[in-house]
Amino acid sequence: MKVIVSHDIDHITVWEHLFKDTIIPKFMARMHIELFNGKIGINEYTLRWADFFKNKWQNIDELITFNNIHKVPSSFFIAVSNGVGLSYSNESALVWINQMKKRNCEIGIHGIAFDNKAEIEKELNTFLSLSGQKQCGIRMHYVRNNENTFRYFDEAGYCYDSTENSFKNPYKIGNMWEFPFQIMDGWVIEEGQRWQTRTLEQAKDTTKKLIDRAHTENLNYLGIDFHDRYFSHSFKTWVEWYMWTINYCSNQGLEFVNFTQAIQELETP
């Protein structure tokens, strides 16, 4: 079994949310709930305020550096449309697309449109125009989808998708590869809530069970989704969980690949 690690870019700055959505008040509520429940300490709480005043809600460069050191190919999904609490501009996205290209990252779309074929095609064309790429993959924001979504992705021309959460091996939908993923940071640490409910040790135990299940189900590829925003000591449990997960997989003898490498393997006779 090999491991595909990918990262969803949900936020870039704090101020992008001003007058556009309710993310800032939700963030305030969340960190106070976590403080009063004892899930974060005063230092972590203070660092979150520091991020707020620095207007910095992304940790892309820091995450790429960590991945490079640990020989993990960096795969990012970045948005070119707004919706469901995602509010950064295409100008901001382009800055980071260019930075990620310079650092040899794999870049796909963090999709917003999932039930409108024309809007799905528009997102793809916008991204290809901004990035200069000839093709790309996608993962839906909040993994939203319906009975038509994956067919629309294939017809639009995506080469891969990783929206499905299931214990399945990659499979073809038309000409598109579907890469189901099994582990997401929020699901492991929040356990269905909008704030942290589990300790680091509980998150580790859950992760081990998910990896064991992937082995039992004979998966060829294990998919892990980690959001770049949490690669910071202002989210101590999250960053420590990610670093532990990468080291745990390495110690298990698992090799890291990106989607493009996996497709090449799958399509090699």
- Could you read off the pLDDT of 216-260 as tens digits, one per residue? 999 999 999 999 999 999 999 999 999 999 999 999 999 999 999
Interacting residues of 24 by C-beta distance below 8 A, sequence separation 6+: 14, 17, 18
Q: Are the beta carbons of 152 and 125 closer than 8 angstroms?
A: no
Report pLDDT for 21.
94
| Number of residues in the chain | 269
CA 248/CA 260 separation, integer angstroms? 23
Beta-bridged to residue 183, according to DSSP, are 224
The β-bridge partners of 225 are: 6, 184
CB 228 within 8 Å of CB 76 = yes
What does the pLDDT profile of the chain (269 residues) look like in tens digits? 999 999 999 999 999 999 899 999 999 999 999 999 899 999 999 999 999 999 999 999 999 999 999 999 999 999 999 999 999 999 999 999 999 999 999 999 999 999 999 999 999 999 999 999 999 999 999 999 999 999 999 999 999 999 999 999 999 999 999 999 999 999 999 888 888 999 999 999 999 999 999 999 999 999 999 999 999 999 999 999 999 999 999 999 999 999 999 999 999 98
AA letter at 61: D
Residue that has been written with the tokens 């000839």 in this structure: 134
Cα–Cα distance for residue pair 257/196, rounded to 1 Å: 29
pLDDT reported for residue 148? 97
Domains present along the chain, CATH in parentheses: 2-267 (3.20.20.370)
SS3 172: strand
The DSSP secondary structure of 82-115, one letter per residue, reads -BTTB---HHHHHHHHHHHHHTT-EEEEEE--SS
C-alpha 32/C-alpha 20 separation (Å) is: 22
Alpha carbon distance 205, 172 (integer Å): 32
Q: How far apart are CA 20 and CA 29, in angstroms?
A: 18
Strands 171-173 and 176-178: antiparallel
Beta-bridge partner residues of 257: 4
Beta bridge partners of 256: 3
pLDDT at 191: 83
Please state whether the predicted TM-score (pTM) of the whole model is above 0.85: yes
